[in-house]
Amino acid sequence: MFGIPEKHFARYYEILSVLIRHGFGHWLIPGNLSTMPEKNLAYVGVHLRKAFEELGAAFIKIGQIASTRSDLLPQPIIRELEKLQDRVPPLSYGIVRRVVEDSLQSGMELVYKKFDPIPLAAASIGQVHQAVMHNGERVAVKVQRPLLRETVKIDLEIFQILINRIEQRTKYGKRYPIRKIFEEFSETITRELDFLNEGKNAAKLLKLSKGNSNLVIPKIYWEFTHPSVLTMEYISGIPLHQVSQETTYNTHRIADRLSKVLLQQILLDGCFHGDPHPGNVLILPGEKIALIDFGITGHLSRSMRDQILLLVTGLVRGNDALILKTLSRMGIVSDSVDRQIFKADICALQHKHMNVTQGRFAIGESMQDFFDIIFRHGIQIPSEFLLVGKTLLTLEGTLKELDPTLSLVEQAKPFSRRFIWRRLRFGNIWRIFWGD
């Protein structure tokens, strides 16, 4: 039926029943009368979120990744998908032990001197335990749920078939690039389910941060790491969201260092932590910053970093010509885009976010509004740019809680100056070489 392998029938009908119960039956089954008001996108978003939460890891991850694509989906649906939670009951110690031993091909006691059976955290992909190596070093061990990759593979195959029907039967399928979204998300989920990739992300950020004494990145124990098990240095610190309850910390210094760390990663290093919510940021004595959980990490080429700085400059100055020129260089602005309407939208964006009396500009929020504009104009941008916008938005929200007086624009100015100076120096060399 519908190209579903017989062995997948049970899961297919489970998915189908959940979607029908949440009002999406008319998308999938001819003549189904269980419909929802498609004009009310917020209502659609709520039921989509609830359905994805019921359907488990693959659907939750697809929804979480979809919530970062403001250029491809309408804001009411984005806002609901941002609320997706993947809190699940923890695995029993017996299952954890079996996954570790099967993955590392060794007995638990031979790998770890001590292993705490109670997890530090549990989610749909896996859970984290504290352990001690035989050399006395404390580590955090991330263990993947058993058979998860196989389950996700089946769900993605079924999801592909559902997309075919959505494209054929709904206006959403005809209007939005659902297949493109699915293919991109499928690749992202597959990478995230391989803990070796997360280890490589952490190792790269650790290498890039060597000269920063205020930043701590956990080292990876590669000999005890596998696609299903990640062993990394344990970092003892206070989660960022608890810092406000402590009177011994200088929140201004923390905000200053955290903003500079992430701006450095985005604008200079080209490799950045893509999910810096307060739970993934630890504060150590002396207001040092520690980052954990590297499943979502952005990678930017030099040209992409230059384009981000040019886009931010255009947004801050309300320079629609610079914005359009930068987008055009990315090769993603079609001839059908109405330049005059686009210019009017950018002017409205500038008036909304620029406060003349205080001179404060919210980079993250303005970029999210900017992505909403390019969505309306049918402009598509690389997913890494969306991740930058999401990261800056998360960062600004965190900074607002830590120190409302700190401006991310002011923090970014030194990086912008370095960018401009580098371009000027290159331009001078170019002119001297060509005699211009």
- Give per-residue pLDDT as tens, 63-98: 877 777 766 677 888 888 888 866 678 999 999 999
**And the tokens for 252?**
């201004």
Whether residue 111 is contained in a domain is answered as no
| Spatial separation of the C-alpha atoms in residues 30 and 346, rounded to whole Å | 43
| Residue keyed to tokens 């210019």 | 343
- Residues 6 or more apart whose Cβ sits within 8 Å of residue 147: none
220 in any annotated domain: no
Looking at the fold, whether 281 and 183 belong to one and the same domain comes out as no
Q: Measure the CA–CA gap between 374 and 389, rounded to whole angstroms.
A: 13
Write the Ramachandran bin of 359: left for phi over 0, alpha for psi from -120 to 50, otherwise beta: left
Residue 342 belongs to what domain range? 240-424
Is 283 found in the same domain as 183? Answer: no
Q: 281 and 409: one domain?
A: yes
Q: Which pTM does this prediction carry?
A: 0.81
Looking at the fold, whether 169 and 283 belong to one and the same domain comes out as: no
**Helix or strand or coil: residue 33?**
coil
* Cα angle value 67/71/77 (rounded, 5°): 40
| Domain-located, residue 381 | yes
Q: Is 346 a domain residue?
A: yes
- From first to last of its 436 residues, the chain has per-residue pLDDT tens of 555 667 778 888 888 899 888 888 666 655 444 445 555 788 888 999 999 888 887 788 778 777 777 666 778 888 888 888 666 789 999 999 999 999 999 999 999 999 999 999 888 888 999 999 999 999 999 999 998 888 888 888 888 887 877 777 666 666 666 777 777 778 888 888 999 999 999 999 999 999 899 999 999 999 999 999 999 999 999 999 888 666 688 999 999 999 999 999 998 999 999 988 888 999 999 999 999 999 889 999 988 888 888 877 777 676 778 877 887 777 667 777 888 888 888 788 777 766 544 446 677 777 778 877 887 887 777 778 888 888 888 888 888 888 988 888 888 888 877 766 666 555 554 444 444 4
Tell me, yes or no, whether 329 and 401 share the same domain: yes
The answer to whether residues 171 and 313 belong to one domain is no
Distance, CA of 395 to chain centre: 12
Q: Are residues 291 and 185 in the same domain?
A: no
The reply to whether 132 falls in a domain is no
Q: Are 229 and 142 in contact (CB under 8 A)?
A: yes
Same-domain pairing of 185 and 50: yes
Whether residue 383 is contained in a domain is answered as: yes
In a domain, 333, yes or no: yes
> How many Å apart are CA 208 and CA 212, to the nearest integer?
9
- Total structural domains in the chain? 2
- Are 75 and 155 in a shared domain? yes
Neighbours of 297 (CB within 10 A): 22
74 and 186 housed in the same domain = yes
Reply yes or no on whether 275 is catalytic.
yes
Which residues lie below 8 Å from residue 205, measured CB to CB, with a gap of 6+?
A: 217, 265, 271, 272, 273, 291, 294, 297
Q: Is residue 378 part of a domain?
A: yes
- Contact of 395 with 262, CB cutoff 8 Å: yes
The model's pLDDT over 132-168, given as tens digits with 9 standing for 90+, comes to: 999 999 999 999 999 888 888 888 888 888 787 777 7
Q: Same domain for 287 and 170?
A: no
Residue 331, Ramachandran bin (φ over 0: left; ψ between -120 and 50: alpha; else beta)? left
Summarize pLDDT for 45-64 with one digit per residue, the tens: 899 999 988 888 778 877 87
Residue from 275, 293, 345, 369 carrying the catalytic annotation:
275
The answer to whether the CB of 395 falls within 8 A of the CB of 259 is yes
- My answer on whether 168 and 298 are in the same domain is no
